[in-house]
């Protein structure tokens, strides 16, 4: 007889069911592993720890859950069509991935894309990052916001909301701007086209951000209003700082050496100065953004993945239905 998983909660009134790593891994059941070790290596970011065990124990159960959610949403869509006697087109199932700088959002988003694209029926799964919707550096410099890059006010929010609205309206194709981490700016002539995927993953630090509700009761859309499911990747502040510094040091000997790199000047400083510089950037900018804007949105997520210092996800919290 299969063992029944008994999830825990931190407190009696918690809206989440909390699973240890072992409890969550048991929910994989017979979900097949569809990624090869070489593919897993290609999916992880420069400083992330991602191996086959992480995929098997964390991401396969999650892909199974999301597949169930997507199929249930499609059944509900067809039922609504019959009820309304309409012939609306099926719209993408949108998944948001949020969390701090350096927490591993990009890796999580890429792994989910790869796994979901290999689910039964071979759905079309696209991925975008909200970095492309940042204001160009020229605008940020004019507005005095270069040190607030990644904060809510640094995004072209109307453009991002219009993009998501077009996605949910089933328009095709919809174009998203492209951001270059090499030149640290939006590339004005480059776009990625999203053409009615079955699933769209939207990754960004502030995708769960909200604002103050209007006093007159008028509708103000938030990015998360367009999500069908959302994931928040969590880790302690000091762990995130260490990861950020290590990533900075790694980039200093790789991408920063590219002549086109915005950060090329950092490739020539000493190790001691590099650590000091990265720590200063983290403390002045990324930690402030985390504490003021990102962390307060954690409890809005449908799923919270809690990481340890080794990058292993040790706890999973799933919002109750």
Could you tell me what percent of the chain has a pLDDT over 90? 79
Say if residues 182 and 258 touch (Cβ distance below 8 Å).
Answer: yes
d(Cα 88, Cα 91) in Å, to the nearest integer? 9
Say if residues 70 and 34 touch (Cβ distance below 8 Å).
Answer: no
Kindly state the tokens that stand for 305: 């993945």
pLDDT of residue 215: 75
Say if residues 103 and 232 touch (Cβ distance below 8 Å).
Answer: no
pLDDT of residue 8: 59
| pLDDT, average across residues 147-158 | 96
Indicate whether 1 pLDDT > 50.
no
Q: Which helix (H) or strand (E) covers residue 38, if one does? A: helix 37-43
pLDDT averaged over every residue in the chain: 92
CA atoms within 13 A on the CB side of 239: 15
Split at pLDDT 50, 70, 90, the class of 5 is low
| pLDDT, average across residues 98-117 | 96
Say if residues 291 and 44 touch (Cβ distance below 8 Å).
Answer: no
DSSP alpha helices (H): ranges in 57-104? 60-84
Domain boundaries, the chain: 16-206+221-319
For residue 25, count other CB atoms closer than 10 A to its CB. Answer: 17
Q: Give me the CATH code for the 16-206+221-319 domain, please.
A: 3.40.50.300
For the stretch 172-231, pLDDT in tens is 899 999 999 999 999 999 999 999 999 999 999 999 998 777 777 777 789 999 999 999
Task: Of 246, 267, 319, 299, give the one whose Cα is nearest residue 47.
Answer: 246
For the stretch 9-27, pLDDT in tens is 555 678 999 999 999 999 9
Indicate whether 64 pLDDT > 50.
yes
Kindly state the tokens that stand for 43: 């999916």
Indicate whether 156 pLDDT > 80.
yes
d(Cα 138, Cα 118) in Å, to the nearest integer? 41
d(Cα 108, Cα 114) in Å, to the nearest integer? 10
């Amino acid at each position: 007889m299969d063992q029944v998983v008994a999830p825990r909660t931190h407190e009696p009134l918690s809206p989440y069911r909390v699973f240890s790593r072992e409890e969550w891994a048991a929910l994989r059941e017979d979900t097949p592993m569809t990624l090869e070790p070489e593919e897993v290596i290609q999916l992880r970011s420069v400083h992330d720890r991602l191996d086959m065990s992480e995929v098997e124990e964390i991401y396969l159960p999650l892909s199974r859950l999301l597949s169930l959610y997507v199929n249930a949403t499609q059944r509900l869509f067809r039922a609504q069509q019959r009820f309304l006697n309409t012939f609306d087109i099926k719209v993408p199932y949108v998944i948001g991935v949020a969390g701090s700088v350096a927490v591993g959002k990009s890796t999580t988003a890429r792994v989910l894309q790869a796994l979901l694209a290999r689910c039964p029926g071979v759905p079309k799964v696209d991925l975008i990052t909200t970095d492309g919707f940042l204001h160009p550096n020229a605008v940020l410099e004019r507005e005095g916001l270069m040190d607030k890059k990644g904060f809510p006010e640094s995004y072209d929010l109307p453009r991002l909301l219009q993009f998501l609205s077009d996605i949910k309206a089933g328009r095709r194709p919809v174009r998203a701007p492209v951001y270059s981490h090499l030149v640290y700016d939006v590339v004005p002539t480059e776009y990625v086209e999203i053409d009615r995927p079955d699933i769209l993953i939207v990754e960004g630090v502030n995708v769960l951000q909200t604002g103050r509700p209007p006093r007159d009761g008028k509708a103000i859309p938030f990015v998360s209003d367009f999500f069908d499911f959302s994931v928040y990747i969590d880790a302690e502040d000091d762990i995130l700082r260490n990861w950020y510094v290590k990533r900075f040091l790694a980039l200093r000997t790789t991408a920063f050496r590219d002549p086109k790199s915005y950060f090329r000047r950092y490739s020539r400083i000493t190790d001691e100065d590099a650590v000091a510089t990265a720590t200063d950037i983290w403390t002045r900018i990324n930690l402030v953004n985390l504490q003021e804007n990102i962390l307060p949105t954690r409890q809005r997520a449908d799923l919270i993945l809690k990481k340890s210092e080794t990058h292993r996800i040790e706890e999973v919290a799933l919002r109750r239905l």
